[in-house]
């Protein structure tokens, strides 16, 4: 099969500014929407972001149907519950108000109510599902993020825990992208510091992974343009967005976590989340995310501070960053220059660093952020041991959509070594 010769850039429309949430009613009215499903979670339903959306919809004469039972770190079961709720209450548009869990749930609801499949797994990424293409356009979906991390407002990806395998998977299609993302930095003012830290570290890993992924030109060329994957590999446009996201993280992440009243830092981190989203939404992520999926899905006891305590849960940004230093020590040999560029963007002094040390320098810089922000010291600190490594490897192997973008291939033995290295971070 011939090598790829093209890459494609896709992203949601974005609007940024304090107070832009108040415009959602006018936006939907202009799109001809008259009855809208508002998707959120129980922690947000009574708070200012959701109330601002409901008030704007009312002022525009749009009927709102409220679903407020999104699960933080959603599962196939929570997706199905949301889909069933929406199927019984038809609407012609959707607004997602919350973090990545809410926006990803809204994407799934939009797809499964627009084109109900014969089986839930029909749209889910292979090899877990059939990865059937989305048949056509979806309903208007406006995303109002309340965290600065996932970048889900820019991407065509919806991630969930598949309970049957105790592993994360997802659905990927450019048609899933929100119609519009409203980036309102006022919404991150009350974000708990632990949530700000985890979501910010997710930005960091999104950007480094997309910048260090395989080049887009090293993939096989698809039979037709519609089959070109959303995650294409590193490319010149994604590189720009990813590096700028890293520069913002270096300048603003610690500030935003330490001081919720630092309006500039919070606003910049919200932009960084979308910048990184544009980067990885087109280039893709690789091993830190692929390895994070079983870490999140198989946790048995850990309950993260600052998050709902109704079920064991590792926040996504934490599950990703715990693997990142080990991964980048491993992948740097495939492209030392790119790893050094990423380290420099994060604030490391690389002027006299030899290429052989690129992985160590990047890993050390990421570890500095982990220590400064109070992240658990490795997988062992959230309850894992060497005995769990075979299950973690097994949960990573099906994540072809991301693991095959690694600049250095990782077979089961290499993955096992990476998980062992990630048990203790410093």
Domains observed in the chain: 19-183 (3.40.50.1970), 193-421 (1.20.1090.10)
Beta bridge partners of 222: none
The 10s digit of each residue's pLDDT in 45-79 is 999 999 999 999 999 999 999 999 999 889 999 99
Burial of 257 (0-12, 13-18, 19+ CB in 10 A): buried
Running DSSP on this structure, what letter comes out for residue 116?
-
pLDDT tens sequence across 331-369: 999 999 999 999 999 999 999 999 999 999 999 999 999
Average pLDDT over residues 265-275: 96
- What pLDDT is recorded for position 181? 97
DSSP-derived secondary structure for 357-378: GHHHHHHHHHHHHHHHTT--SS
Task: Give the distance from CA 323 to its chain's centroid.
Answer: 15
103 pLDDT higher than 90: yes
What is the predicted pLDDT for the residue at 165? Answer: 81
- Across 68-166, the runs of DSSP E, i.e. the strands, are 93-98, 141-145, 157-162
Check pLDDT > 90 for residue 201.
Answer: yes
Provide mean pLDDT across the span 216-222: 93
Total number of residues shown for the chain: 426
| Torsional class of 109: left (φ above 0), alpha (ψ -120 to 50), beta (otherwise) | alpha
Q: How far is CA 116 from CA 51, 248, 396, in A?
A: 31, 41, 28
- CA–CA dist 339, 346 (Å, integer): 11
Check: CB of residue 272 under 8 Å from CB of residue 185. Answer: no
pLDDT at 169 over 70: yes
DSSP summary character for residue 4? P
pLDDT of residue 117: 97
Peptide bond into 3 cis (omega under 30): no
Mean of pLDDT values over 29-36: 97
* Mean of pLDDT values over 251-264: 96
107 contacts 141 by C-beta, under 8 angstroms: yes
392 pLDDT higher than 70: yes
Question: CB of 282 within 8 A of CB of 239?
Answer: no
Task: Give the Cα separation of 154 and 179 in Å (integer).
Answer: 9
pLDDT at residue 12 is higher than 90: no
What whole-number percentage of the chain has pLDDT above 70?
Answer: 100
Choose between 229 and 392: higher pLDDT.
392
Cα–Cα distances (Å) from 346 to 225, 229, 342, in that order, read: 35, 29, 6
Residue 32, by phi and psi: left (phi above 0), alpha (psi -120 to 50) or beta? Answer: left
**H-assigned helices in 115-219:** 193-212
pLDDT, residue 381, reads 97
pLDDT tens for each residue of 291-339: 999 999 899 999 988 887 678 889 999 999 999 999 999 999 999 999 9
- Output the DSSP codes for 228-247: S-S---B-HHHHHHHHHHHH
DSSP secondary structure, 14-38, as one string = EEESTTGGGGHHHHHHHTT--EEEE
Lowest mean pLDDT segment, chosen from 129-133, 164-168, 213-217, 263-267: 164-168
Are 320 and 222 in contact, with CB atoms under 8 Å apart? no
2-16, 97-111, 337-351: which range is least confident on average? 2-16
Mean pLDDT of 13-38: 97
Neighbours of 142 (CB within 10 A): 29
Q: What's the chain's average pLDDT?
A: 95
282: left (phi > 0), else alpha (psi -120 to 50), else beta? alpha
What's the pLDDT at 1? 65
Q: Are 22 and 58 in contact (CB under 8 A)?
A: no
The pair of structure tokens assigned to 177 is 């992208």
**333: burial class by Cβ within 10 Å (0-12, 13-18, 19+)?**
middle
DSSP-derived 3-state class of residue 15: strand
pLDDT of residue 189: 86
- Count of C-beta atoms within a 10 Å radius of residue 6: 12
Give the residue-averaged pLDDT of 283-298. 94
Distance of CA 166 to the CA centre of its chain: 19
Query: How do residues 179-197 score in pLDDT, each as one tens digit?
Result: 999 999 999 888 889 999 9
pLDDT of residue 77: 96
Confidence of residue 148 (pLDDT cuts 50, 70, 90): confident
Residue with tokens 């832009």: 20
Q: Which two tokens stand for residue 290?
A: 């692929």
Q: What backbone phi and psi angles, to 5 degrees, belong to 372?
A: -65, -30
Element (H, E) at 192: none
What is the distance between the alpha carbons of residues 196 and 184, in angstroms, rounded to a whole number? Answer: 15
Percentage of the chain surpassing pLDDT 90?
Answer: 85
In this prediction, residue 289 carries a pLDDT of 96
């Amino acid at each position: 099969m011939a090598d790829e010769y093209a890459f494609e850039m896709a992203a949601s429309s974005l609007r940024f500014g304090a107070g832009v949430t108040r415009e959602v009613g006018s936006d939907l009215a202009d799109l001809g929407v008259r009855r809208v499903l508002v998707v959120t979670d129980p922690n947000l339903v009574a708070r200012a972001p959701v109330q601002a959306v409901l008030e704007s919809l009312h002022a525009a004469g749009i009927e709102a149907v409220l679903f407020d039972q999104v699960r933080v770190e959603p599962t196939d079961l929570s997706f199905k519950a949301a889909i069933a709720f929406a199927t019984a209450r038809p609407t012609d548009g959707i607004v997602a108000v919350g973090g990545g869990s809410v926006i990803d749930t809204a994407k799934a609801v939009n797809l499964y109510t627009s084109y109900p499949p014969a089986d839930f797994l029909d749209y889910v990424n292979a090899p877990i599902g059939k990865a059937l293409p989305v048949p056509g356009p979806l309903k208007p979906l406006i995303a109002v993020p309340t965290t600065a991390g996932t970048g889900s407002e820019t991407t065509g990806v919806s991630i969930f825990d598949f309970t049957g395998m105790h592993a994360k998977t997802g659905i990927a299609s450019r048609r899933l992208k929100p119609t519009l993302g409203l980036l309102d930095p006022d919404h991150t003012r009350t974000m708990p510091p632990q949530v700000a830290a985890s979501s910010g570290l997710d930005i960091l890993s999104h950007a480094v992974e997309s910048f260090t992924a395989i080049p887009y030109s090293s993939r096989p060329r698809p039979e037709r343009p519609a089959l070109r994957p959303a995650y294409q590999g590193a490319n010149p446009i994604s590189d720009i967005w990813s590096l700028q996201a890293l520069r913002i993280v270096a300048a603003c992440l610690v500030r935003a976590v330490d001081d919720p009243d630092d309006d500039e830092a919070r606003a910049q981190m919200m932009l960084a989340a979308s910048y990184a989203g544009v980067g990885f939404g087109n280039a893709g992520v690789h091993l830190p995310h692929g390895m994070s999926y079983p870490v999140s899905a198989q946790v048995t006891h850990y309950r993260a501070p600052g998050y709902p305590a109704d079920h064991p849960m590792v926040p996504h940004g934490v599950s990703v960053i715990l693997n990142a230093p080990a991964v980048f020590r491993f992948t740097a040999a495939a492209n030392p220059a790119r790893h050094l560029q990423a380290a420099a963007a994060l604030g490391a002094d690389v002027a006299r660093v030899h290429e052989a040390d690129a992985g160590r320098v990047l890993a050390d810089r990421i570890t500095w952020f982990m220590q400064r922000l109070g992240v658990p010291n490795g997988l062992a600190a959230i309850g894992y041991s060497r005995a769990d490594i075979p299950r973690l490897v097994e949960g990573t192997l099906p994540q072809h959509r991301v693991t095959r973008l690694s600049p250095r291939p990782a077979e089961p033995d290499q993955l096992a070594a990476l998980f062992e290295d990630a048990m203790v971070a410093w």
